[in-house]
DNA sequence: ATTTTTTGTAAAATATACTTGATATTTAGA
DNA sequence: TCTAAATATCAAGTATATTTTACAAAAAAT
């Protein structure tokens, strides 16, 4: 799977560490790291928590238009 | 959790049975049923598969603006 | 009315998301 | 440089998403 750079840059834009984002989503730092590196299939609830913490929507962080 | 009526009506609009949608998403009918009834926390990949099969995006089927 | 399709639900098994604890590497600041 | 914060990654454990099999009720079709 591909890295989630949209998420990574949204997090960077808010100057949040993985650890801080993890706390706000109530998961561990490792889980956030795994989601960003893309070798993961997170649950929708976690995706929604991440979106809310980063001020983005699902489409903005987790959707890719198919060609 | 609340029922996913957006998903249910999107499926109805295409005249697809849960079983047919399940096949297109390569999961079981019970999984689709559970997602629609909302007592579930599906993975993002399944949500994406469902969206593609129904011609919708994540925001359209799985996002709720918070008040 | 009767049959067939669709849906709800449930228990047990399997796959995998997520945690815990730990070490190693990278990055940023002093 | 030196040090601390941030990130990557790994192995083993726990929680839960998903499957399999099954049965019953509701809806649709004949």
The pLDDT confidence band at residue A26, using thresholds 50, 70 and 90, is very high
Query: B63 and A43 in contact by Cβ < 8 A?
Result: no
**Contact between residue A61 and residue A10 where contact means Cβ atoms under 8 Å apart:** yes
Task: Note the pLDDT of residue B66.
Answer: 72
User: Within a domain: residue B20?
Assistant: yes
| CATH number of the structural domain spanning residue A46 | 1.10.260.40
**Residue-range definition of the domain harbouring residue A9:** 5-56
User: Within a domain: residue B67?
Assistant: no
Averaged in consecutive runs of 10 residues, what is the pLDDT profile of chain B (67 residues)? 92 97 98 94 98 98 85
User: Within a domain: residue A27?
Assistant: yes
DSSP B38: T
Number of domains in chain A: 1
The string of pLDDT tens digits covering residues A37-64 is: 997 999 999 999 999 999 999 999 999 9
What residues 2-61 of chain A have any CB closer than 8 A to a CB of chain B? 41-45, 47-48, 51-52, 57-59
Residue of A1, A47, A58, A59 to mutate when probing chain B, most B C-beta within 10 A: A58
The pLDDT confidence band at residue A65, using thresholds 50, 70 and 90, is confident
């Amino acid at each position: 799977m591909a890295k989630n750079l949209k998420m990574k840059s949204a997090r960077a834009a808010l100057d949040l560490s993985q650890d801080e984002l993890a706390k706000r989503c109530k998961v561990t730092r490792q889980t956030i790291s795994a989601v960003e590196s893309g070798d993961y299939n997170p649950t929708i609830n976690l995706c929604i928590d991440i979106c809310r913490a980063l001020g983005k929507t699902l489409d903005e962080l987790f959707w890719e238009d198919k060609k």
